[in-house]
Amino acid sequence: MENRSLIEQVKARAQSWLEGHYDEETKNEIRNMLTGDEETLIDAFYKDLEFGTGGLRGIMGAGTNRMNIYTVGMATQGLSNYIKKTFEGNKKIKIAIAHDCRNNSRLFAETAAGIFSANGFHVYLFEDLRPTPELSFAVRHLGCQSGIIITASHNPKEYNGYKVYWEDGAQIITPHDKNIIREVKNIKDIREVAFNGPKENIEMIGKSVDEAYLKMVISMQLNANAVRRQRDMGIVYTPIHGTGVHLVPEALHRFGFKNIIRVPEQEINDGNFPTVKSPNPEEHAALQLAIDKAKETGAELVLGTDPDGDRVGIAVKDHDGTFVLFNGNQTATVLLYYLLRQWKAGKKLKGREFIVKTIVTTEILSIMAEHFGVKHYDVLTGFKYIADMIRKKEGKETFIAGGEESYGYLVGDFVRDKDAVTSSCMIAETAAWARDQGKNLIGLLREIYLEFGYYKEQLVTMVQKGKEGAEEIRRIMDDLRHNPPETINGANVMLVHDYLKQQTIDQISHLRYQIDLPQSNVLQFVLHDGSKISVRPSGTEPKIKFYISVNTKVDRPEDYQEAGKLLEERIKMIRKDLKI
């Protein structure tokens, strides 16, 4: 009965689009859905797209739960209404817009530009695709009140998205996100959206912003001498068909690296991502062409950025010629260690410096920061929270770097989002510094583990699509929240951090402690042996994620391999216990 009621509701919503002011192509797509598979119709219309940790994101097509010019239009009009209320009295409201390489990205960017223009704003529209971090930079550089980028990051080709930035160059957080959604929901008819504003309100931007951004990227360099000595180190770079295609090689060149090797097949900007199944640098297959090129040319380091240029994956050649892929935690570990070492060597540590990481990112970052006398802060998953911490500490403390396990890093604060352009340069500099001392990043990582503890992490992702999938994810979270395990892999669960209830529960004393972070549907279980398991639904995809972190102390180099096997077995048993 409930399912039939849902079907009738979505049919009514679909019918309202057929009778509304929508183009004929959209209406034909809806007619096909009405006479076809009910599941497709339900998924297209059962809800409105909402802002999650990555903003508005969804499959492209007709429907309220799809990315199309109408959902983009309503989001843009709602955002415009909110901006006008927030900056009432501002004579010239300015907005920056960028987009990635995905299908329809330029169409959505131009649609948004026309709507902002119709609302009386001055619009800076990038002439062609640009990386997400450059959009973040441009918002502050051009004195904008807001900005958007059309991107779905590393999602499959059928997706697109819409990320909103505020005047500080960071992605929106509460209360702005909820207020914008409220404004969008207040729009009851597409006729309320002001499309096609005057062209004179839209200013094309490009090279001058590129130069200003690159100047700041180059200013992050810490050891030009090491780079100069290792300038011929072979670096293979792939943009995986995306926005890093021009700026990353240019930035590496300006850093001083002379042997930058390209992957021509993946330099073609194509939203269908023809050379990969998924344009995600977390996945081995996405970097395979680059690794093959590195083997062919004798290069030592592989860098691959995702389509919108904010995340970077790396592979490092070992002494036997094989390439080892680093996960996001490992890359963050060597990068942060290098930064802390260089800041200390340069006598730049004055006791006011800090780093930021997300709650699901490796704890070794905090341990290293403490060792160097640097403060560390944990924030919720989503780089917007790292940016918010930078904003809160601005003028009081000095930000060194931030990172998250999902391959996103930020060095310096001139960008307020993860930045694969700067990160690629700093990772390459770290590799040059290590090479200067006769080792590679693999050897450097091993030395870090021997000094601070051997940490191993694994991410387990369960995909649950559609309405039924969302209900299954909800059931899993409810069960873990109301019936938390007492032991996992034979180790007692000591603490349960419930970020939705904003409290920590001590399972031994049963005392409760307040968590001073915003509400979020995340659970963490801290075990007696130091292991930590975090569980959270994705904010942008139909997935539930389990983050497993284990660690042990290794006193002697000869024990390193055995310790790794022990940690792998511990992860295996944790997964078995949790049935994931």
Residues 308/161, Cβ–Cβ less than 8 Å: no
Q: Which of 105, 136, 153, 531 is catalytic?
A: 153
Crossing angle for the helix pair 207-218 and 132-141, nearest 10 degrees?
A: 100
User: Could you tell me if residue 404 is left (phi over 0), alpha (psi between -120 and 50 degrees) or otherwise beta?
Assistant: beta
Q: Is 5 a catalytic residue?
A: no
Residues 523/501, Cβ–Cβ less than 8 Å: no
Cα–Cα dist 442/433, whole Å: 13
Distances (CA, A) of 535 to 461, 465, 476, 496, 578: 10, 18, 10, 11, 11
Q: Which helix (H) or strand (E) holds 543?
A: strand 543-552
Distance of CA 356 to the CA centre of its chain: 15
Token pair of 81 as six digits: 């209404």
Residues 374/349, Cβ–Cβ less than 8 Å: yes
Which amino acid, residue 8?
A: E
Distances (CA, A) of 277 to 158, 272, 281, 526, 532: 12, 9, 11, 36, 31
Residue reference for tokens 């500099």: 429
Which amino acid, residue 365?
A: L
Residues 100/129, Cβ–Cβ less than 8 Å: yes
Phi, psi of 231 (to 5 degrees): -65, -25
Cα–Cα dist 144/508, whole Å: 51
The size of the chain, in residues, is 580
Give, as one character, the DSSP assignment of residue 52. B
Q: Closest Cα to residue 476, out of 545, 533, 539?
A: 545
> Who contacts 224 (Cβ-Cβ below 8 Å, separation ≥6)?
256
Catalytic residues: 153
